[in-house]
Structure 1
Amino acid sequence: MPLAAALAPLRPGIIAVVLLTSATSLIGLTAPLYMMNVYERVLPSRNMNTLIALTAVALFLLLVEAAIGRTRESLLERLGLHFNRTVAASLFAALQGAAASHGEGRNAGPLRDLDTLRGFWVNGGLTTLCTLSWSPLFLLALFILHPVLGGIAMATLAAMLLLAVATRKTMAADLRMSAEAEAIASGIARRSLGACEAVQAMGMGMTAARSWHRVHEQALIHHIHAGERAGPLVFLSQFIMAASSFLVPAAATALALQGKISPAAIYAAMLIGRHATEPARKAIHQWRGYQTARLAYGRLDALLMTAQRASPGLTLPRPHGQIRVEGLTLSAPGTRQVLLRNLSFAVDAGTVLAVVGPSGAGKSALARVLVNIWPPTLGHVRIDGADYSHWRGDALGAHIGYLPQDIALMTGTVAENIQRFGSRDDDGVISAARLAGVHDAIQTLPDGYATVVGENGACLPAGQRQLIALARALYGHPALVVLDEPNAHLDSAGEVALAETIAALKAQNVTVVLITHKAQLLASATTIAVLGKGTLVQFGARDDVLARLSRPEPPARKSRIRMVARS
């Protein structure tokens, strides 16, 4: 969904904000008009009734202005909430897909962009622009009072604008280097905190701190240099902004002394001049916020447009689990490193496929392609004949179970994790837990299925985390289950339960893909695929492949499949 489409329903509200801001700008003429009438009508006539009437009208208009201001603030807050409701879910889904497909995990930049764009109008950016559009009216009022007054105000605005542009250009290079250094420092901090246990255990804390501090200090130094370079321009700009509040009334006083304008126009000229220049001063002060909002809009629109192009408009029927890989070539996201080269194979529904090979052969990369995390660089992956790209959004994921090496449980209860944080489904959760062989272990937890697992399952032993993640993979009766090193944290009893789970899935005609380097799981497989350096070395029925691997091979061949031969 492009961002313009998300903003379209907000257009009436934005128009209402513009109209309300225009009304407050017009009411801004109340004070100068009031003072002019006091000087020109009330004082010469000494008429108390006229003063009371003028004061009553002025107070009423100020009351209306206050009511309009509060209504506008409430409307802006509701517009921000409506915008968030319209965009947030789609944005998070697009961010999740981009993070998985392009290796940009933990990048919350688009979410900050959403807050930036929402804050732009909620916190006064939109109203400042609307108020600025009325500055010409106040300039015209000054020209009507006297051309000299209008000319002074225009010259002030021009000087402020030129100085603002010069200041931005002077500071741009240093601010850019400061932002780059700060981004590097944030990355160092994020990586160090993410590996805090290893950092603490191996005494790397001070080294990491010094590395972060050095880069963070560079960011601060660049920021200071930016301020020092622009110092004279900032000084001059601040002086002109402060002096502008005196120049117009001083000129008006001089004109009044020469008899060219009424003395009553002095105070009016001061107030009108303030209304003419104040919006420009605010706009210049918030210019960086405008640029940030514009860039945030562009990034969000590009991300949502990419996600929309990647999502077709069809909901396909539930698949049976037949998998066909055709000429699959995969490059690591964001690089030119080829992980898989021209893989082609097919398995029927109910097949248990064991993918084996040495480290770096591409087993986990194939798993990520099979569960639709990484799209193929070349070739196709099909389920029941339909290319993965033909499925809409998360529709395919509902039919896939995935147990990654990084278990990655999310903060929440055991039940919420198993049911993938969807609608409450007690029967489905218990069924998946029983199938994974973890139901009894969950009952021993302090609150059973309501036990909060903590971030990444930190509150649970590694074996229980893996079995709960396995139950999550089995939830909803998926047609395809991909298990990447599923017994990495299991003891012998856990491995027996895992074998029983795989047998039960096979009996239910579920296609299972096992990524493993352990011989124990090969007994559960019906088919074996051997990978080596990203290519398909062997593929076929388990006994046939093992028989071929057991034959004497040339030394080069043996080194490539040493692990499987040993199994």
Structure 2
Amino acid sequence: MIGQGKRFSSLPVELRDAVTAVRGALVAVAMASGLVNLLMLVGPVFMLQTYDRVLPSRSIATLVGLLVIALVLLVVQAGVDVLRSRLLARIAEIFDETIRGAVFDSVQHAALSRPNGDGLQIMRDLDTVRGFIAGSGLVAIFDLPWTPLYIIVCTLFHPLMGLAVAGGAVALALITVAAELFTRAPTRSLVALASSRRQMAETAFHHAPVVHALGMQQRMGELWSERTQAYLNAQRVTSDLTGTFGSASRFLRMILQSGVLALGAWLVINQQATAGVMLAATILSIRALAPIELAIANWRSFIAVRASVGRLAEALTAVPSRSAFTPLPAPKNEVRVTSISLTAPATDAVVLHEVSFALRAGNAVAVVGPSGSGKSTLARALVGIGAPVRGVIRIDGATLAQRDPRALGPSIGYLPQDVALFRGTVAENISRFAASPDAIKLLAAAREAGVHELILRLPDGYETEVGDGGLMLSGGQRQRIALARALYGDPFLVVLDEPNSNLDSEGERALIHAIARVRARGGIVVVIAHRPAVLQAVDHMLVLNEGRMQAFGTTAAVLPLLVPKAPQPTPATAAEPAPAPARRKRKKDVEPRQNA
């Protein structure tokens, strides 16, 4: 019990809370299981009394009385069994409801910290645990402790019968241990192969246009087929092992049943037991071994749920603890970046070194520099995606870690480089899927982004479905709708990562107008820029090169530093005559000879 207490206390608080929420119901299930197993004695006892009392006395009244009592008890048993099944289903739902929010947060954290991993595995792990709770696996666990009761009853019939049933139980327990040792590694491998196969299929599905255009269907199909075959091979090995141990347990149960019947017959012949005892002991031997056999049949589920609980605990532990945040006012004054160094997603390689700058309300800065200089990494850090390894980002004096991300979210507008729209309508995407979207804010954001007229030209206007990732729209339409989403609710800090990469001249004019509107209402805009058109809308520039800040200041001061200076002519070159007409004449004289 002490070891179990230590193991429970080592679990993440979310898992402990989920278990605590269903602890009372599990106690009720345990009590129901006890009653069900006690009532399992009704059949053997009825058979014993029928053979040993009714048949010798030929009493119809005794038979009817015993039959009525048995029927009533069996009805109670059936009702309690149904109640137990329903209670387990409700327990599974309560467990899921208690922990699902933390699991979703863990999925989001995994997507940000390990983008190359299978972040959705933890959701499948939750499904595995919930299915185990509601299934027969947990029933087997609750029934196992009652096996000794049946062995004791058989021993009361005759010590040899109790010894035979106990020997069968020990043999089945050894099979269970062997199943654990032989199936643990294959089951773990099966989970990894299933994840790899699923990721390959999802990649081909989400990038189907590219796969089709580049003629990669056959190769992608081969890769998926290879991973599927590896998964099926592992599944076959696991299934063969589980089936072998299951067949062995059934064989042993049949041998034990026949052995107990033969032993009872021998005892009857030697007048050491009655016929009723012989048959009752045979039935009890079957019931005594049934929980062990059920456990062996569910052993693959036991291993899977144990691995799922381990992954759940690991994933939930990895999520930074969300302590109670002191409510802070919405930001409205400044953004200050002090000596921050940032790493690339999912790596420890520092890609941005010692960057510092400050922006006041109404400022707009263009972050420029060659590809790979850390511009997008900086944009992600400004909106709270990835904490700096050194330095600090403050908004109105408070660090991002001091603010509740859910409360800060409405004050942040973000347009990523890879425009991501969610499956839903245009209105839902712009309003950030708000439970009660504000129509006034929705239309204001669309007009501020200059996309209102474009949306009205769509088949269903604001109710047009955009598809997964916005595939139903063009690149420019997706980018302008995502810009409206970034502007929804008049956020204080708006970070735009290459917002004009897919825009035409009309879209660029709308973008410049949107930046001016944000500045006019006292917001701050950070624009990752490669095209020069956006520079006319900003008043500051930040130059990055090879992960380091080269310059920061007003546009008027920094822009001349980026213009290459024309080479000055040397004195010797300046003194040479330049008879251009004569040179052109010689060129004309040469051309006929070349043609000839």
TM-score of the aligned structures, taking structure 2 as reference length: 0.88
Counterpart-to-counterpart distance in 2, 1:504 and 1:131:
69
Match status 1:307 vs 2:319:
yes
Q: Residue in 1 aligned with 2:526?
A: 513
Aligned residues: 554
Structure 2 matches for 1:246-395, cutoff 5 A? 246-307=258-319, 309-320=321-332, 322-395=334-407
Please state whether the residue corresponding to 2:339 is helix, strand or coil: strand
Counterpart-to-counterpart distance in 2, 1:174 and 1:90:
29
How far 1:119 moved relative to its partner?
0.9
CA deviations on 1:269-319 (whole Å, 9 max, x unpaired) are: 112111211001111221221222222223223333443515543332211
How far 1:56 moved relative to its partner?
0.8
Q: Residue in 2 aligned with 1:560?
A: none
Sort the Cα spacing of 1:444 and 1:181 in 2 relative to 1 into closer, same or farther, 3 A: same
Q: Residue in 2 aligned with 1:537?
A: 550
- Of 468, 473, 481 in structure 2, the residue corresponding to residue 455 of structure 1 is 468
CA deviations on 1:146-189 (whole Å, 9 max, x unpaired) are: 22222222222222222233244334455555544443333332
Match status 1:29 vs 2:5:
no
CA deviations on 1:57-77 (whole Å, 9 max, x unpaired) are: 111111111211222222222
Sort the Cα spacing of 1:237 and 1:30 in 2 relative to 1 into closer, same or farther, 3 A: closer
Q: Which amino acid aligns with 2:252?
A: I
Match status 1:221 vs 2:221:
no
Counterpart-to-counterpart distance in 1, 2:230 and 2:413:
46
How far 1:228 moved relative to its partner?
6.4
Counterpart-to-counterpart distance in 1, 2:307 and 2:439:
45
Asked if 2 retains the 8 angstrom alpha-carbon contact of 1:18 and 1:127, the reply is no
How far 1:473 moved relative to its partner?
0.9
Structure 2 matches for 1:154-303, cutoff 5 A? 154-225=166-237, 236-303=248-315
Q: Which moved more, 1:102-111 or 1:19-28?
A: 102-111
Match status 1:522 vs 2:535:
yes
- Aligned-residue sequence identity (percent) comes to 38
Please state whether the residue corresponding to 2:407 is helix, strand or coil: coil
- Of 392, 406, 411 in structure 2, the residue corresponding to residue 399 of structure 1 is 411
CA deviations on 1:63-109 (whole Å, 9 max, x unpaired) are: 11121122222222222222222222232123113312332576211
Q: Residue in 2 aligned with 1:468?
A: 481
Counterpart-to-counterpart distance in 2, 1:229 and 1:284:
11
Asked if 2 retains the 8 angstrom alpha-carbon contact of 1:312 and 1:391, the reply is no
Q: Residue in 1 aligned with 2:493?
A: 480
How far 1:44 moved relative to its partner?
1.5
Counterpart-to-counterpart distance in 2, 1:476 and 1:508:
12
Sort the Cα spacing of 1:190 and 1:24 in 2 relative to 1 into closer, same or farther, 3 A: same
Q: Which amino acid aligns with 1:190?
A: E
Asked if 2 retains the 8 angstrom alpha-carbon contact of 1:102 and 1:374, the reply is no
Match status 1:128 vs 2:140:
yes
Larger CA Rg, structure 1 vs 2: 2
Q: Which amino acid aligns with 1:533?
A: E
Q: Which amino acid aligns with 2:27?
A: I
Sort the Cα spacing of 1:299 and 1:211 in 2 relative to 1 into closer, same or farther, 3 A: closer
Q: Residue in 2 aligned with 1:65?
A: 77
Q: Which moved more, 1:373-382 or 1:221-230?
A: 221-230
Q: Residue in 2 aligned with 1:565?
A: none
Q: Which moved more, 1:522-531 or 1:98-107?
A: 98-107
Q: Which amino acid aligns with 1:547?
A: P
How far 1:229 moved relative to its partner?
7.5
- Of 473, 483, 507 in structure 2, the residue corresponding to residue 494 of structure 1 is 507
Structure 2 matches for 1:89-168, cutoff 5 A? 89-104=101-116, 107-168=119-180
Q: Which amino acid aligns with 2:458?
A: L
* Residue segments in structure 1 that go unaligned for 5+ positions in a row: 555-567
Sort the Cα spacing of 1:108 and 1:455 in 2 relative to 1 into closer, same or farther, 3 A: same
Sort the Cα spacing of 1:526 and 1:231 in 2 relative to 1 into closer, same or farther, 3 A: same
Counterpart-to-counterpart distance in 1, 2:17 and 2:492:
36
How far 1:460 moved relative to its partner?
1.6
* Residue segments in structure 2 that go unaligned for 5+ positions in a row: 1-12, 568-596
Q: Which moved more, 1:500-509 or 1:200-209?
A: 200-209
Q: Which amino acid aligns with 2:551?
A: Q
How far 1:417 moved relative to its partner?
1.0
CA deviations on 1:456-500 (whole Å, 9 max, x unpaired) are: 111122212111111111112211111111111111001001100
Structure 2 matches for 1:35-74, cutoff 5 A? 35-74=47-86
Sort the Cα spacing of 1:219 and 1:114 in 2 relative to 1 into closer, same or farther, 3 A: closer
Q: Which amino acid aligns with 1:456?
A: G
Counterpart-to-counterpart distance in 2, 1:84 and 1:468:
35
Q: Which moved more, 1:198-207 or 1:103-112?
A: 103-112
Q: Which moved more, 1:529-538 or 1:214-223?
A: 214-223
Q: Which moved more, 1:352-361 or 1:545-554?
A: 545-554
Q: Residue in 2 aligned with 1:562?
A: none
Please state whether the residue corresponding to 1:394 is helix, strand or coil: helix
Asked if 2 retains the 8 angstrom alpha-carbon contact of 1:131 and 1:279, the reply is yes
Q: Which moved more, 1:542-551 or 1:397-406?
A: 542-551
How far 1:394 moved relative to its partner?
2.1
Asked if 2 retains the 8 angstrom alpha-carbon contact of 1:400 and 1:478, the reply is yes
Counterpart-to-counterpart distance in 2, 1:229 and 1:113:
23
Q: Which moved more, 1:116-125 or 1:92-101?
A: 92-101
Asked if 1 retains the 8 angstrom alpha-carbon contact of 2:14 and 2:102, the reply is no
